[in-house]
Amino acid sequence: MDAVLAADLPETAEVADLGTGSGAIAVALAVERPGWRVLALDRSPEALAVAGRNAARHGVAGRVELVEGDFAAIGSRGLFDAVVSNPPYVAEDEWGGLAPEVRDHEPKGALVPGPTGLEAYERIVPLAASVLRERGVLALELGHDSARGVRALAERAGLSSVEVYPDLAGIPRVLVARR
């Protein structure tokens, strides 16, 4: 994801990581791009505590701002060069079939946004379109069968150059779109 974002963003980019969880994406971006500032947003204070420890451990706590709140909280934070997210994308009826090492060690809300699995994308995509600077980039991790639906959401939100990249198993895994 870093290479895709870096190609189109300034050296001093401002990035929002929605639903940061442990901060893996926010911290990795801050480590790889020393000029970037990352807003790491999550509604869970416990997750933000972990993200804070991870940012400190990697020496980027001064460039990763932790914010507790819902996705909409970024609406009042100004414009961003990029919005990234690995949102919950497991459909409600898939929850019981998840591997126990996933299902039993992650809060359900971190994995299941609602009945279809698209609910988080339905909130993030239009929000991102409204807070991205001109030529800003949206990058989202995708669920195993969500590429078509998320692509349609991005196009409806007026985003362009929508591309989907597969993971090593050939499953559509990351969607990148531009404003």
pLDDT of residue 1 exceeding 60: no
Task: For residue 33, give its domain range.
Answer: 2-178
Contacts of 1 (CB under 8 A, 6+ apart): 25, 29, 84, 139, 174
What confidence tens digit (pLDDT) does each residue in 138-170 have?
999 999 889 999 999 999 999 999 999 999 999
State how far the Cα of 48 lies from the Cα of 45, in Å rounded to an integer: 5
Short-list 146, 145, 178, CA closest to 163: 178
What is the tally of structural domains in the chain?
1
What is the C-alpha to C-alpha distance for residues 163 and 179, in angstroms, rounded to an integer?
Answer: 13
- Write the DSSP symbol of residue 91: B
Per-residue pLDDT tens for 58-104? 999 999 999 999 988 888 889 999 999 999 888 888 888 888 888 88
User: Which H or E run contains 64?
Assistant: strand 64-68
Write down the pLDDT at residue 114.
85
Q: What is the dihedral of CA 65, 66, 72, 74, to 10 degrees?
A: -10
Q: What is the CATH number of the domain that holds 81?
A: 3.40.50.150
